[in-house]
Amino acid sequence: MQIDLNGRRALVTGAGSGIGAAIARALGASGADVAVHYANSKTGADDVVDELTGLGRRAVAIGGDLTDPAQASATVAAAVAHLGGLDILVTNAGHLVGRATVAEMSDAHWAQVMAVNVSSTFFVTRAAVPHLTDSPAGRVVLMSSLAAENGGGAGSVAYAAAKAAIVGFGRGLAKELAGAGVTVNALAPGFIGDTAFHNTFTPAQAQQGIVSGIPLQRAGTVDDVAGVSVFLASGLSSYVTGQVIDINGGMNFR
């Protein structure tokens, strides 16, 4: 068996850096044409597009604030216009925003975490659904987190709740879209090293402690997540829907 995404058209959100960029690259390397969404990382998104066009793929960088429903719809419309349709949606955009305990958390912090992670996913998915149901093999890959299962690290209650909401959203959506042949699954990465996320929010000593407790004895990589994404976007996963795929080196078992 071989994964071949030639002719498939994908939109990856939050793809200007880190996990999202790796997913966009992996989809392109497997043959897909890719719309690379970014919020702030325009230079990174342009670099990904250059790599993909160098492989002979159609690719475009699209900026937008997905917490705004109008911009989310415009992002999908731009992707469809450039690629000629949409077969694969990967909703990677999201953010911890900052660490805060429930006792000290402001209303604004809670709302921002929910907007960046949950509302953005809903808005872009809603806009993409009519195009995905027109595809002969529509795929939705949502980004959850190990935090949805274990509550996350200190000060990440809002983030854990948001990522748990992604799981519920995905399972409900999987039921809604099954009749159209569209599969919906979520990824739940654990500790993925050398990313802006952990370099910003997890001190180096804490990162070392986390890695020492991982059964596979290493941090995950962005390519570990990208590989599973490509599988879920391909025909090899055509009978897999409503699932959460853990990518955590054995840190946690469901």
Active site residues: 159
Are β-strands 88-91 and 139-143 bridged in parallel, bridged antiparallel, or unpaired?
parallel
Query: How far apart (Å, rounded) are the C-alpha atoms in residues 169 and 173?
Result: 6
Structure-token pair, residue 158: 């809002």
In the block, tokens 């590989």 appear at 227
SS (H, E, C) the chain: CCCCCCCCEEEEECCCCHHHHHHHHHHHHCCCEEEEEECCCHHHHHHHHHHHHHCCCCEEEEECCCCCHHHHHHHHHHHHHHHCCCCEEEECCCCCCCCCCCCCCCHHHHHHHHHHHHHHHHHHHHHHHHHHHHCCCCEEEEECCCHHHHCCCCCCHHHHHHHHHHHHHHHHHHHHHHHHCCEEEEEEECCECCCHHHHHHCCHHHHHHHHHCCCCCCCECHHHHHHHHHHHHCHHHCCCCCCEEEECCCCCCC
Of 18, 17, 19, 51, the closest CA to residue 34 belongs to 51
Strand partners for 10: 34, 88
